[in-house]
């Protein structure tokens, strides 16, 4: 619940609604998954397909039919009911590059903020039949069972993830990432939102994405922290609005941030 008595929300209900809507949107994406698609290029150079647009339309309609006074911010169609105290931030397909190649590591993302604070997060992976969801103070679930980060406390035993090492190498964290990569046991590119889900479910220790919009990050802070880990920007702010995202099992967060800060 929000601490403010004027706005009293049952987070369990909101989490259930977000899970239902993410699954419905996921069904839409599956109709197109593995099909020959004609992706368009957006003004920022990122790809988009009719599946992204149809899934976001369904999310928006589902949210606003249940909660007409809630706000919605989506990657493809922008903001509705700006200024609302409860805001749903959605990415209908995170990992569009995976999606259009028939790779199942893409997810439907929903984060709900109440008075600006992250309160609910859902990352649903339709092609993997996995759902990770969390509500503030109520824990993180992975397909309905409690999710927990790993207990790995040495970099030399850790699995480090990112989406695109070339993007990291070209940006301000390139040298820090390279140092971190040489300190860990393995580094892989099981990226986009799935990398953060792997951290929240104890299958990886650190996931770094140097470029994230609010819709890319919306559910991640709630999911990772409720699983016992840490989620911050690359400069250490616990926020989904800072333009980058680092998830970890908590134990290795200082080491990850130290390495990244050494490069700026």
Q: Which positions touch ligand IPD (CB under 6 A)?
A: 46, 91, 93-96, 163, 191-192, 209, 211-212, 216
Count of CB atoms within 10 A of residue 60's CB?
A: 20
C-beta closer to ligand IPD: residue 67 or 88:
88
Rg (CA), the chain: 17
Q: Which is nearer to ligand IPD, 67 or 222 (CB)?
A: 222
Q: Which residue has the tokens 């990569």?
A: 181
Q: Does 19 bind Ca ion (CB under 5 A)?
A: no
Binds 163: which of Ca ion, ligand IPD, none (CB < 5-8 Å by kind): ligand IPD
Stretch that binds Ca ion, among 36-44, 143-151, 211-219, 251-259 (CB under 5 A): 211-219
Shortest separation between residue 141's beta carbon and ligand IPD, angstroms:
22
216 binds Ca ion (CB under 5 A): yes
Among residues 60, 63, 73, 94, the one that binds Ca ion under rule CB under 5 A: 94
* Least CB distance to ligand IPD at residue 108 (A): 10
Beta bridge partners of 74: 78, 90
Considering the complex, state which of residue 19 and residue 94 has its C-beta at the smaller distance from Ca ion: 94
The one segment of 5-13, 71-79, 157-165, 177-185 that binds Ca ion by CB under 5 A: 71-79
Paired with 22 in beta bridges are: none
Which residue's CB comes closest to ligand IPD? 216
Q: Which of 240, 239, 234, 252 is nearest to 172 (CA)?
A: 234
* Residue 91 in the binding site for Ca ion (CB under 5 A): yes
| 151-158: Cβ within 8 A, 24+ apart | 151/249, 151/251, 152/205, 152/249, 152/251, 152/252, 153/251, 153/252, 155/180, 155/183, 155/184, 155/252, 155/255, 156/183, 156/184, 156/185, 157/185, 158/184, 158/185, 158/186, 158/205, 158/206, 158/252
Nearer to Ca ion, 63 or 152 (CB): 63
Distance (Å, rounded) from C-alpha 9 to C-alpha 4?
A: 10
Q: Applying CB under 5 A, which residues contact Ca ion?
A: 75, 91, 93-94, 216
């Amino acid at each position: 619940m929000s601490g403010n008595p004027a706005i009293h929300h049952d987070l369990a209900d909101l989490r259930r609604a977000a899970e239902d809507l993410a699954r419905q949107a996921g069904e839409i994406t599956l109709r197109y998954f593995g099909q020959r698609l004609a992706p368009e290029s957006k003004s920022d150079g990122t790809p988009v397909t009719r599946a992204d647009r149809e899934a976001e339309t369904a999310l928006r309609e589902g949210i606003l039919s249940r909660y007409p006074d809630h706000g919605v911010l989506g990657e493809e169609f922008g903001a509705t009911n700006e200024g609302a105290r409860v805001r749903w931030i959605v990415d209908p397909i995170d990992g569009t590059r995976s999606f259009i190649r028939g790779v199942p590591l893409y997810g439907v993302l929903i984060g709900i903020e109440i008075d600006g604070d992250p309160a609910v997060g859902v990352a649903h992976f339709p092609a993997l039949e996995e759902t990770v969801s969390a509500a503030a103070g109520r824990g993180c679930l992975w397909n309905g069972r409690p999710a927990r980060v790993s207990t790995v406390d040495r970099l030399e035993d850790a699995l480090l993830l990112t989406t695109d090492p070339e993007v990291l190498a070209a940006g301000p964290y390139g040298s820090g990432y390279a140092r971190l990569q040489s300190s860990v046991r393995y580094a892989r590119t099981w990226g986009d939102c799935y990398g953060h889900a792997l951290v929240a479910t104890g299958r990886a220790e650190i996931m770094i994405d140097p470029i994230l919009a609010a819709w890319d990050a919306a559910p991640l802070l709630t999911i990772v922290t409720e699983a016992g880990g840490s989620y911050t920007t690359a400069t250490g702010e616990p926020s989904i609005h800072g333009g980058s995202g680092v998830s970890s099992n908590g134990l290795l967060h200082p080491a990850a941030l130290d390495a990244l800060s050494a490069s700026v």
